Amino acid sequence: HSLILTVTGSLFAFGDGSQGALGLGTMTSTAQPAQVDAGALRALPVRAIAAGAQHSLALSASSEVLAWGCGKNGRLGLGQESCDIVVSPTRVPEMAEPAAFIAAGGQHSAVILRTGVCLLTGSNQHGQLGQQPSQLACTSIFLALIGQWQAVALGTSHSFLLGHNGKVYSCGRSDKGQLGTGSVGVMSSTLEQVILPPGLAVVGLATGPEHGLVLASPHRPNAKLSNKSDVFGERVQAPAQQNMEIYLRDRSPVQDVESERCISLADGQIAIIKGGDYSIAPGMSPTDIHESSISPGVCTSARFGGMDVSALRGLVNAAAVASQGSSVAEEELHRSLSNVLANPTLMNSSFCFPGLYRPRVDADGLADAFDELWSLSAVSEKQQSQLRNAAMQGLERWAGAPQSWKDFPPCLVHKDQIRGLAVLLLSPLVSEPEACTEAFVLMTRLVSLLAALPHEGRMAFVSIVVEDMVHVLRSVLVLRVRSFCNAAIRRGVQVRDFNKSVWEGCLVLDILALASSLIQQRLSEELLVGSGPTGAEMHHTVSRLRNKSLRSTSDLAAVANAPGGLDENGSTPKGAGFWMPEAPVPSQDLELEVLAEGIVPPDVEFALFLQNAQAKVPTTEELVQLRPHDERLHSFMVHRRLLPAAFIRRVLHVENHYRQNLQHQQGFQDMIRAALAGDIRIGPNGGMLNVDVSTFYFPINVRRDHLLEDTLEALQDAAPADLQKQLKVTFRGEEGQDSGGVSREFFRLLGEQLFALQSMLFNSAVAEEARVLWFDRASPRDPLDFWMLGVVLGLAVYNSLPGLDARFPVCIFRKLRGEPLGLEDLGEVYPAVASSLRALLAWKPAEDPPREDIGELFASTFCLDFSVSYEENGKSCTEELKPDGANLQVTLENRVEFVRLYCDWALTRSITRQFEPFQKGFGRVCTSPILQAITGDELARIVMGESDIELDRLRPNAKYEGFTTESQCIVWFWEALQGFDAVHRRLFLSFVTGSDRSPVGGLGELQLKIQKATSDANRLPSAHTCFNTLLLPEYTSQQQLQNALVAAIENTEGFGLE
């Protein structure tokens, strides 16, 4: 059989297919070249090929090896479980290093890795694997050969290898002298040197079934040579290239062959072509052969015909400077782009950084090039349409018709098969799907293919995004897919049907959300271990070099999270904290605006949820593994990361009413049964029934001055079914009817008592430091009080009364949802402790001591063991974090475990007595599937509402020094605060008090002091956060004051403002 590799990286085969060597998925033979795109070669760019007697090998763009054909004796290297015949290209198990060279023989195969290691597999009957046949008859796993190698060629039962020392070695069968060692009829299982005339530099090898060929070049003795390692470690010099000679060694003496065009080989002859007199092959001169073509780590195939970013920019620039009326450059740009878009193999090999063994997309450079292209008038609307048609053709070739994807997902599982899909998502061809119908149609097909990928393919797509597309994830990828989802939902609302495009778009957006989470996790891990290169690669690309660099990953994280970035000296601002990195895509950027607008009726979504997802709500991890036709995807509530809090609240409100109506219906049925049994009295007016209100509602009758006691009594007496009824509150001695207002008053008054520090339920030190409510582990209150707290919180949610003034940290709601907690959650409750633990994890010695001294220096610096000491009710207490923890020192190696155990103790174990009844109380009321489907962060927003900061509440208690309430500057100051949006209100509060949270009890609990600054009016305001004091210069105009105040709060970090 024969294989053909095109310049675009596509593979064709023809000939005998009875052993599956063609890779067409069948054992059919063909006389016409057929493209090999079955199995793992679907849309895969190939950079090298090798055809054996009955099997084939290919080398992918990522330097991975694929094999197919006859697998007898393990020649494919697919492992112990491989079949005798493999009809489709199959990926060889991953090797230690990228592959650089492949060869296929009669019954064995070879791979040379980038490091020069040669691996062999298959039959060793004649010692062709370089080992004794008595010890190894055959192997289906690639085994390493001793030495460092440049090239290899395989015959039927013998092997030729070119070492780094420039010498040729051989092993295997030698009954016809095919090893070139001067002996005949002797098998050699050890590498022996091939005898060649002196003064030649070997630059190539080839073999026939029973003969070998060496391509060599005579060199000048005084030529400048480069050093290379000998195959067995000795340093030798490699010759400069001159004329080339081909040696075909066999049993007979050397004879000159006088031929201009070809070499005729008779059995038992050696043919030599003298360099300079004859051409080596038709159309090839000696200078066409270069040493680099067989250097370690460089593939022997031709360069791909794909387009890189620099080529695209060149075409764009040429089109931009083309003279008026000249369309040659524009036509070239259009033709080149069309060719790439229509060819999946080209798309997968294009727009990558040049010279890498494993391709990486130049995403930043490509995004810039596309922006430049679309900003020109060079691409007309007609050409845009043609480019989109080309892209549609490419998607059709990529995976066939979408109708077949339901039962048979596209066989696209590797990054080399999927990279072009991410590139297409970057292109402006799919931008603005809401405004352009053609863009929407193309995006529909692209999203459909991405959603149809098998799980391995989705993870490969995520890997491409994580490794290559960090900068464009938020600004391009998420924006494009979110816009498509909004457009698809709007179309679905218009036709009253949400088709598969809606759910496929949501699934792809979920996959991008997963990529964002993985990037955040990767950066966090890098901060812990202090590694740098990966972070630098993620944030810088060759096409977008800047005049600044990051010294380490910790610098990167500090800059990414410090509002001020680097100062003028390129250093981290003084006082910038060592914080864990934010996700590259904020949660609000994932939310679908169309759902926040109320276009989708909440009752419609609730019906979708009941119909498709109620039985088994998938977790976030399960979600990205579901097939697109899985009905559980067909509900917005399943796609939790995409939902605005307002939409969740509306759907939850519908569900609450639905469940309350069920209780009403049950009440009517109970009433009818009671009437039939004669248990209901007829009233004096005739026909009027005296029915207990508890049949339909959950009534609570309380006294204002005994609110907690009466509420606890009512909750204790209520059955779980009673709590599911609509709440009706009455205050004793008052005639108000509860249509919602009385309930809100009840919860407000109850919250003032329950969520006050005087209730002794919460830790006052945490409330002062972190401005959140956290359970007091030393609380004298009965666990029943914490149970009531949970029930009250559940009732507020169930009766659609969110917005309780309960300053719980978000981690409380994560605990309610059973989500794991960590150092970031600890920072919500104990910020100072969390900061110390971050410093523990980030610690590095100031100098560079010997490695054996680092551990001792760490231990003497922190002096910690696996126990925690704290004060409770005036007594000092110690608790071990693990068995015998007091005798176990915290070291450099176990510090991560210490932090994990400390977080678990502080957030879970230390408050078990308080949290468990609280959780049971909340769960007694809130058992709905929708509540179970949302995350802790979303539950926090539902319970506490969208917290806003009312700066006007600072005004009544404000004090002034150097000013009065009537001072013009003070009047302007309060007017400026009234004009702030939510973001600037939080910035101002953080600027003055050091925290962007209101204290427990609200901003009215703070006393703001405004002091006239002694500096001139050209200075910015400053603050003493410890005393809630604002130093305000006396500005001469309102605009000057507002500009200075905004500049100050937006550009400060740490202590002191320059």
Q: Please give the sequence-ordered ranges of beta strands (E in DSSP) within 966-1019, or none if there are none.
A: 1009-1012
Residue pLDDT, tens place only, 275-286: 222 222 333 333
The pLDDT, as a whole number, for residue 300 is 42
Average pLDDT estimate for 613-632: 85
CA distances (Å), origin 329, targets 332, 333, 351, 389:
5, 6, 20, 21
| Mean pLDDT (the chain, rounded) | 79
Q: Which residue has the higher pLDDT, 679 or 984?
A: 984
Residue pLDDT, tens place only, 700-748: 888 988 888 888 888 888 888 888 788 888 888 876 666 666 777 787 7
Residue pLDDT, tens place only, 457-499: 999 999 999 999 999 999 999 999 999 999 999 999 999 889 9
- Take residue 258 and report the two structure tokens written for it: 């006088």
Average pLDDT estimate for 1013-1017: 77
Contacts of 355 (CB under 8 A, 6+ apart): none
Predicted confidence (pLDDT) at residue 980 exceeds the cutoff of 80? yes
Closest by alpha carbon to 843, among 851, 854, 829? 854
The pLDDT, as a whole number, for residue 112 is 94
- If pLDDT is split at 50, 70 and 90, which confidence band does 648 have? confident
CB 944 within 8 A of CB 810: no
Q: Which amino acid is at 157?
A: S
Measured in degrees and rounded to the nearest 5, phi and psi for residue 35 equal: -70, 135
The pLDDT, as a whole number, for residue 825 is 92
- Take residue 369 and report the two structure tokens written for it: 């090039």
The pLDDT, as a whole number, for residue 276 is 29
The pLDDT, as a whole number, for residue 236 is 32
Q: Above pLDDT 70, what percent of the chain? A: 80
Closest by alpha carbon to 200, among 212, 215, 178? 215
Predicted confidence (pLDDT) at residue 289 exceeds the cutoff of 80? no
The pLDDT, as a whole number, for residue 998 is 65
CB 901 within 8 A of CB 881: yes
The pLDDT, as a whole number, for residue 700 is 87
Q: Which of 301-310, 485-494, 787-796 has the lowest mean pLDDT?
A: 301-310
The pLDDT, as a whole number, for residue 290 is 31
Which helix (DSSP H) or strand (DSSP E) does residue 80 occupy? none
- In the block, residue with structure tokens 């006050």: 756
Average pLDDT estimate for 737-766: 79
Measured in degrees and rounded to the nearest 5, phi and psi for residue 651 equal: -65, -40
- Take residue 15 and report the two structure tokens written for it: 């000939």
CA atoms within 13 A on the CB side of 502: 23
The dihedral over CA atoms of 649, 654, 657, 661, expressed in degrees to the nearest 10, equals -160
- If pLDDT is split at 50, 70 and 90, which confidence band does 884 have? very high
CA angle 488, 489, 490 (to 5 degrees): 90
- In the block, residue with structure tokens 């349409």: 385
Closest by alpha carbon to 69, among 111, 120, 15, 112? 15
Q: Count of CB atoms within 10 A of residue 924's CB? A: 18
- If pLDDT is split at 50, 70 and 90, which confidence band does 986 have? confident
Predicted confidence (pLDDT) at residue 801 exceeds the cutoff of 70? no
Q: Which of 62-66, 574-578, 846-850 has the lowest mean pLDDT?
A: 574-578
Residue pLDDT, tens place only, 146-198: 999 999 999 999 999 999 888 999 999 998 888 988 888 778 889 999 988 88
Edge-to-edge order in the sheet of strand 245-249:
200-207, 212-218, 245-249, 270-273, 254-256
Closest by alpha carbon to 202, among 230, 241, 229, 235? 241
Average pLDDT estimate for 310-318: 89
Average pLDDT estimate for 434-452: 94
Average pLDDT estimate for 1027-1036: 90
Q: Which amino acid is at 752?
A: E
The pLDDT, as a whole number, for residue 406 is 66
Closest by alpha carbon to 521, among 826, 770, 820, 904? 820
The pLDDT, as a whole number, for residue 94 is 85
Closest by alpha carbon to 897, among 865, 859, 935, 944? 865
Residue pLDDT, tens place only, 818-840: 888 988 899 999 999 998 998 89
Predicted confidence (pLDDT) at residue 541 exceeds the cutoff of 50? no
Q: Count of CB atoms within 10 A of residue 688's CB? A: 10
CB 84 within 8 A of CB 36: no
The pLDDT, as a whole number, for residue 155 is 93
The pLDDT, as a whole number, for residue 967 is 93
Q: Please give the sequence-ordered ranges of beta strands (E in DSSP) within 707-766, or none if there are none.
A: 726-731
* Helix, coil or strand: residue 720: helix
The pLDDT, as a whole number, for residue 83 is 77
- If pLDDT is split at 50, 70 and 90, which confidence band does 1055 have? very low
Closest by alpha carbon to 707, among 739, 752, 738? 752
By CB atoms closer than 10 A (0-12, 13-18, 19+), residue 523 is buried
Q: Please give the sequence-ordered ranges of beta strands (E in DSSP) within 679-754, or none if there are none.
A: 697-702, 726-731
Cα–Cα distance for residue pair 45/938, rounded to 1 Å: 44
Residue pLDDT, tens place only, 227-248: 333 443 333 333 333 333 333 3
- Take residue 206 and report the two structure tokens written for it: 């080839």
Closest by alpha carbon to 507, among 641, 648, 398, 600? 641
Give Dmax (Cα) for the chain. 131
Cα–Cα distance for residue pair 669/775, rounded to 1 Å: 43
Q: Which amino acid is at 361?
A: V
CB 809 within 8 A of CB 767: no
Cα–Cα distance for residue pair 438/432, rounded to 1 Å: 10
Residue pLDDT, tens place only, 936-970: 888 887 777 555 577 888 898 899 999 999 999 99
